[in-house]
Structure 1
């Protein structure tokens, strides 16, 4: 990699050593791991606020899936001989705070609150899908089996699709 700022290089010119890739992998894994733990509290709050029974059930399913994904990530940590290292999830906390404030804003009808809940959950699920996809790519480049990320990735994709479907049904 070029040492001078502004030097023009292509992605093929960049060589990242395995120890750096492993550190990046663990930082991303920590981010999604602790982000998901934060989301469990958020899901409890929005399930109470939601008025649509189908949405309440979907949030409950999402909470169960999140608990399972956390357990699957515990297995990933074990398989790479590492432990979760507390990290900031400020971005996720800001997103959930924004969602919470949008949902509880005075003057919103129950239907409007449900639409906002659905909107923000779709954003959150999109972030999760991206995290797991990046982790799969990093794992593969390091030489880790990336199949241990298949289930959490597939679950995130399914949940994103579930909330998109509910959203479309609800607003049509």
Structure 2
């Protein structure tokens, strides 16, 4: 498909793209919120469990902010498939389903995939902020910025926990 210059500046196209990415982010966060309890149970490292609990609380805050964005723009959330986030979560659970009970492998997978999910969130918030600026949606910029910053903080948290976990295992 050739991208025409008019598509890049057409407010209807930009709003469609914004809504598409907003839906992906929203339903990804909803999926995370609804499925983190199991990961908290499976994690063996206490700091990891606490970080997952914090992530669960952050997901709730993200969803509340995204609800504000939907309301401000008079948009109704649409349940689009959120395949990347669901695929990552299914991969996280795969080791348990295969009966591999190694705590190190399970904990490391959780830490890896949580960081991967946060990178997806960071990119999604970045995309929404760019599209929001193009659409001159100044009234929602702060909500998107808070979500963006929180995702960066969550990513850093899981990176610190990974470093801490590996040092307690003697792998530093």
Question: TM > 0.5 between the two?
Answer: yes
| In 1, Cα distance between equivalents of 2:71 and 2:158 | 31
Greater Cα shift, 24-33 or 89-98: 89-98
Alignment of 1:17 with 2:25, yes or no, is no
The total of aligned residue pairs comes to 165
Matched-pair contact (CA < 8 Å) for 2:45–2:165: no
Does the alignment pair 1:118 with 2:115? Answer: no
With the length of structure 1 as denominator, give the TM-score of the two structures: 0.88
Structure 1 consecutive aligned stretches of length 4 or more whose deviation exceeds 6 Å: 11-14
- Secondary structure in 2 matching 1:36: helix
Q: Which residue of 1 aligns with 2:88?
A: 95
Please identify which structure carries the higher helix content. Answer: 2
Per-residue deviation, residues 141-168 of structure 1 (Å, max 9, x unmatched): 1110122211111111100000011111
| TM-score (normalizing by structure 2) | 0.88
List gaps (5 residues or longer) in structure 2.
167-171
- Alpha-carbon separation, structure 2, partners of 1:46 and 1:163: 14
Residues 1:35 and 2:28 aligned together:
yes
- Give unpaired runs (5+ residues) of structure 1: none
**1:164 aligned to 2:154?**
no
C-alpha change, 1:123 and 1:103, in structure 2 (3 Å) is: farther
Deviation at 1:103, TM superposition (A): 4.9
